[in-house]
Structure 1
Amino acid sequence: MKKTPDFIIIGAMKCATSTLHDQLAIQPDILMSEPKEPNFFSNDEIYAKGFDWYADLFQGADVTTLCGESSTHYTKLPTYPDTILRMQAAMPSLKLIYVMRHPIDRLISQYIHHWTEKEVSVDINRAVTTLPILIEYSMYSKQLAPFIKTYGRENILPLFFDSLVTRPQHELERVCKFLGYAQSPQWDFDLQASNVSRERLQVNPLRDAIVDNAMVTFIRKNFIPKSVRNFIKKPWQMEKRPTLTPENIDFLKKQFDKDLKTLGNWMNVALSCDTFKETGRSLSDPRINHAWE
């Protein structure tokens, strides 16, 4: 019988899910999927490959191995409306991890992602009104609601980005305790963070094909000064982090505070844009075992 995931990191996008995935992958007796984001239950063209294809991602795992994957597409309503029904049909019992970042910070990071992929060219202040998914993907209670209804709060671990950054070892231990991991996990501080937006370049097929060539990479890293490399990268790089106008910040706070109030009620804490980071850090207190309590 093929092994299927014991848990899934379901999001949110641009909230250090790749870093958490990589840290879990290096723990003994934990197998994380490759690719990191199979997006099986969300994307129609991948779902069409069939469940056997998905199960093969965990090939080789035995009954004692914890298996997981990390697809942030699973919490991208309304873009992928069939995700939860597909997951429920295939795996009615499952543990889920959801990482949340300050909703405005997450929105900005998502905008940078779309810019690097050449999916958006307008200024971020215009994109806020023309690209509604920037706001939708930061509506955490809205994204979580169908998962809570399907799997129950007891099977969902909410994590805060700020806690993961400031107390990574403690948060990794919380994750592993939630998963029922019998060993003592260790955060590897030498493992480089994944998907750092500020380091990304705008896509360019010709440049990428040249840069990915092994010989070119060797020459570039060993014979071309870093200052020259940085100069060459400039045309494809976003030099400054995008800045929202005060008016747009006020608009976004009003949008997100309504959603965060619902999330806060579920978690028995006061949540708003103004309190989000402080509350997130406080919930990493070692005396607190589960954020829903």
Structure 2
Amino acid sequence: MTALPDYIIVGAMKCGTSTLAAQLGAQDGIFMTTPKEPNFFSNDDIYAQGLEWYSDLFAPAHPDDLCGEASTHYTKHPDYPDVIPRLQATGARPKLIYMIRNPFSRVVSHYIHEWTEGVINTDLPEALHSHSALISYSCYASQIAPWVATFGAENILILSLEDMQANPQDVLNRTGAFLGKTDLVWQEKLSRVNVSAERIRKFPLQETLISNPLATRLRRALIPQKLRDMIRRRRQMRERPTLSATDKHWLEPQFAADYAKLKALFPDRPDLDMSYPFVTP
């Protein structure tokens, strides 16, 4: 029998999805895939491995577990246009969780992520004009609207990183109620996952020269820890970049208009205002 997810965290990137996934995966009766982000319905090369490959990711779950995954590529329109049709074709109707945060903060975290990956090599102001995804992935209504049209707003839970940081147990309770699970307990011992400030810029040929097991053993045997720590610090972004007043002035109307659309899709959610301190209620 082909196993399919009961729930999917569909995004948004850099909005706390890794932390929420880790918390859900630590609960009795809830299963989270490894890898956390299989990106099955988004990435052509992964989708080509077939539905049975995807189904096998859920094989370790107990029979009564709620099974889920968390792939932020699923809300990266227009870069991955086939996600929803591919999921529809399986016949599955999973519960969907979408996380948001202050869009200005998300832009900066996304920029740091791409800088460490070597995708972006410019400063933040220039990147805003050369990498449209920094902005489009922060337009949450535009990203989630196709999911609402296909699966219904009642099948989607919107959460915010700001609320999760301020009221973690309440957010977990709300998530459990949405999934049909009670008595979920926030695990304080689980630290925040995938924190931008801790990311290290990749070297050229990183996989060959740095990340493979042999290189790791040689590096640890031949290079003193103090020198390795110094190199690591130099590959980190020392100061978190900030958006200029000019860039905020340009972006704010776009994000405010998108939030108006989000409120129309999900009315009676004043808690989502936490992500939009720049919008006048």
TM-score of the superposition, structure 2-length normalised? 0.90
37-46 or 244-253: bigger deviation: 244-253
Q: Deviations over 1:156-207 (max 9, x none)?
A: 00001101111111111110110011x4111111112111110110012124
Aligned partner of residue 96 in structure 2, secondary structure: strand
CA distance in 1, matches of 2:172, 2:20: 8
Question: Hey, what does 2:216 align to over in structure 1?
Answer: 213
CA distance in 2, matches of 1:149, 1:139: 17
Aligned partner of residue 249 in structure 1, secondary structure: helix
Q: Deviations over 1:252-277 (max 9, x none)?
A: 11111111111112233598x98635
Question: Hey, what does 1:96 align to over in structure 2?
Answer: 96
Aligned partner of residue 57 in structure 2, secondary structure: helix
Question: How many residue pairs end up in the alignment?
Answer: 273
Does structure 2 conserve the Cα–Cα contact (< 8 Å) formed by 1:116 and 1:200? Answer: yes
Aligned partner of residue 149 in structure 1, secondary structure: helix
CA distance in 1, matches of 2:220, 2:15: 30
The structural deviation recorded for 1:210 is 7.2
Q: Tell me, yes or no, if structure 1 residue 263 matches structure 2 residue 253.
A: no
Q: Deviations over 1:80-116 (max 9, x none)?
A: 0111111111144210000001111001100000000
Question: Hey, what does 1:53 align to over in structure 2?
Answer: 53
CA gap 1:211/1:179 in 2 versus in 1, 3 angstroms: farther
Question: Hey, what does 2:195 align to over in structure 1?
Answer: 196
Question: Hey, what does 2:242 align to over in structure 1?
Answer: 243
5+ unaligned residues in a row in structure 2: which ranges?
none
Q: Deviations over 1:221-257 (max 9, x none)?
A: xx735xx554222331111111222111111111111
TM-score of the superposition, structure 1-length normalised? 0.86
Question: Hey, what does 1:77 align to over in structure 2?
Answer: 77
Question: Hey, what does 1:285 align to over in structure 2?
Answer: none
Question: Hey, what does 1:9 align to over in structure 2?
Answer: 9
5+ unaligned residues in a row in structure 1: which ranges?
280-293
CA gap 1:214/1:86 in 2 versus in 1, 3 angstroms: same
CA distance in 2, matches of 1:274, 1:246: 21
Does structure 2 conserve the Cα–Cα contact (< 8 Å) formed by 1:11 and 1:17? Answer: yes
Aligned partner of residue 157 in structure 2, secondary structure: strand
CA distance in 2, matches of 1:20, 1:138: 19
CA gap 1:29/1:124 in 2 versus in 1, 3 angstroms: same
Does structure 2 conserve the Cα–Cα contact (< 8 Å) formed by 1:162 and 1:277? Answer: no
Amino acid at match of 1:8: I
119-128 or 200-209: bigger deviation: 200-209
Q: Tell me, yes or no, if structure 1 residue 224 matches structure 2 residue 225.
A: yes
Q: Deviations over 1:12-41 (max 9, x none)?
A: 000110011111111111110000000000
Aligned partner of residue 20 in structure 1, secondary structure: helix
Q: Tell me, yes or no, if structure 1 residue 177 matches structure 2 residue 177.
A: yes
Aligned partner of residue 213 in structure 1, secondary structure: helix
258-267 or 17-26: bigger deviation: 258-267
CA distance in 2, matches of 1:218, 1:25: 35
CA distance in 1, matches of 2:233, 2:178: 44
Does structure 2 conserve the Cα–Cα contact (< 8 Å) formed by 1:3 and 1:62? Answer: no
CA gap 1:270/1:258 in 2 versus in 1, 3 angstroms: farther
Amino-acid identity (%): 43
185-194 or 56-65: bigger deviation: 56-65
